Amino acid sequence: MNTFRTSRVVEFCDTDMAGIVYFANFFRFMESAEHAYLRACGLSVVTTWKGQTITFPRVSVSCDYVKPARFEEELTTEVRVDRIGRTSIRYRFTVSRAGEELARGQITAVLCRILDDHTLEPFPFPDELRERILAGPARDTP
């Protein structure tokens, strides 16, 4: 499966008083990279597919921290689709600085349609949607 990369500079608001990225912000970095991946595939985390509004709520997230990241460093987040099941998708992430691994994590989400009463209903990945996600984007994003 394809590896997708996106980069960002660490903002002051991402850090703690020591100028080190606050641990929970790595989840935001992974989520932003996931959204960029979906956009590059012509989708969104909330989108219309064959007349239905669909979304990908998270059911599991984790992150292992290897080294700290600091204010104004440029970080690259790699996204890889690890697995697509019947209704779920699992992404793997690596956050690095100049090729040096800083953190690795994963997000598992479930494909759901948003019903008229705003409740969510899981449903199986349509083949065309599965193929589009697995094919990945044509390019990385800045």
Residue 117 lies in a domain: yes
Residue 139 lies in a domain: no
Determine which helix (DSSP H) or strand (DSSP E) holds 40, and give its type and residue range. Answer: helix 25-40
Each residue of 72-88: pLDDT tens digit? 999 999 999 999 999 99
When divided into structural domains, the chain yields a total of: 1
Q: Is there a domain that residue 86 lies in?
A: yes
Q: How far apart are CA 107 and CA 27, in angstroms?
A: 9
Domain membership flag for residue 140? no
| 89-125 residue pLDDT tens | 999 999 999 999 999 999 999 999 999 999 999 999 9
- Tell me if 107 is assigned to some domain: yes
User: Does residue 73 sit within a domain?
Assistant: yes
Residue 138 lies in a domain: no
d(CA 89, CA 82): 8
Domain extent, residue 82, equals: 3-133
**Single pTM value for the model:** 0.91
What pLDDT is recorded for position 137?
85
CATH of the domain at 8: 3.10.129.10
Arithmetic mean of pLDDT, 28-44: 95
